């Protein structure tokens, strides 16, 4: 990793209010992702510098929404995580957060296992499975998905994983009004949180959904 990448990541972490010490393990993950990506095409973003904002900082922009879960040693399932986004950066940022990285693609699952081994991330595990086949009903405080599917489809595939008071933390671009209006019965919008991603001009939102009648997020 060159100095420009290190500077961009350091500035981004500061803008997000995160510890600069996270830079080391995040850069190690980025280097591994860039290396494997040359052979296995894990992500469409080819250049490591482009991955800083589009992958690392974009993933970490939602960190405030998992801080309370992490503080109590809670659990998060990252659905359709690909090469581990946002799950691995969040696991690096919050060592007490228990993260399940759910991915059916074998080469991406292999990469993540290598990344967890290399980084020594004992608070994350790879679940090589289709989301709907992951047999862990009611096991998680939160589920998240980044550019995976519509809100109704995410809930259809992975809603069974949530505890009764668990929440979906869905990372979206523009505010998905139509998807919110189409939430299935038994689910309700809790909150929409605008996200500011350092180095990324695109609009981003975190949509929080929980079971109807279970209180606020």
Q: The domain that contains 193 carries what CATH number?
A: 3.40.50.150
Whether the pLDDT of residue 89 is over 60: the answer is yes
Tokens of 114: 């290598």
Q: Is residue 23 part of a domain?
A: no
CB 101 within 8 A of CB 112: yes
Q: Which domain holds residue 151?
A: 62-211
Domain assignment present for residue 143? The answer is yes
Is residue 3 a part of any domain in this protein?
Answer: no
| Residue 197 placed within a domain | yes
Report residue 215's pLDDT band, with 50, 70 and 90 as the boundaries: low
**Which of 176, 157, 24, 26 has its CA nearest to residue 102?**
157
Query: Total structural domains in the chain?
Result: 1
11 has a pLDDT exceeding 90: yes
Report yes or no on 118 lying in a domain. Answer: yes
Give every strand in the sheet of 75-79, ordered side by side: 124-127, 98-102, 75-79, 140-146, 162-172, 204-211, 187-195
Please state the rounded mean pLDDT for residues 99-116: 97
Return the H-helix or E-strand segment holding 180. helix 177-181
Q: Residue 216 pLDDT more than 70?
A: no
> Distance between CA atoms of 120 and 112, rounded to whole angstroms?
12
Examine residue 196 and state whether it is found in any structural domain, yes or no. Answer: yes
Domain-located, residue 104: yes
Locate 34 and state its tokens.
């860039």
Q: What is the pTM of this model?
A: 0.95
Query: Strand 75-79 and strand 98-102: pairing?
Result: parallel
- Higher pLDDT pick, 86 / 40: 86
Predicted local distance difference test score (pLDDT) of residue 141: 98
Residues 107-135: what's their mean pLDDT? 97
Residue 217: what pLDDT? 41
Kindly state whether residue 180 falls inside one of the protein's structural domains. yes
Instruction: Say if CB 123 and CB 114 are below 8 A apart.
Output: no
> Tell me, what's the pLDDT at 44?
66
Say what the pLDDT of residue 202 is: 86
């Amino acid at each position: 990793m060159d100095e420009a990448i290190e500077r961009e990541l350091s500035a981004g972490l500061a803008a997000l209010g995160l510890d600069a010490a996270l830079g080391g393990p995040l850069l190690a993950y980025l280097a591994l992702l860039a290396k494997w990506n040359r052979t296995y095409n894990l992500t469409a973003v080819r250049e490591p510098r482009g991955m800083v904002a589009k992958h690392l900082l974009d993933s970490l922009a939602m960190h405030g929404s998992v801080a309370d879960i992490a503080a109590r040693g809670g659990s998060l399932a990252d659905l359709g995580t690909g090469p581990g986004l946002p799950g691995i950066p969040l696991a690096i940022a919050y060592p007490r957060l228990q993260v399940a990285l759910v991915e059916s693609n074998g080469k991406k699952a292999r990469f993540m296992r290598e990344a967890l081994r290399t980084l020594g991330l004992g608070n994350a595990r790879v679940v090589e499975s289709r989301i709907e086949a992951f047999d862990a009903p009611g096991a998680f405080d939160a589920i998240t998905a980044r550019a995976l599917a519509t809100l109704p489809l995410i809930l259809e595939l992975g809603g069974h994983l949530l505890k009764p008071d668990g929440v979906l933390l869905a990372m979206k671009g523009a505010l998905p009004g139509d998807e919110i209006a189409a939430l299935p019965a038994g689910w309700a919008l809790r909150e929409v949180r605008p996200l500011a991603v350092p180095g990324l001009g695109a609009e981003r939102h975190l949509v929080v959904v929980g079971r109807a009648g279970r209180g606020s997020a």
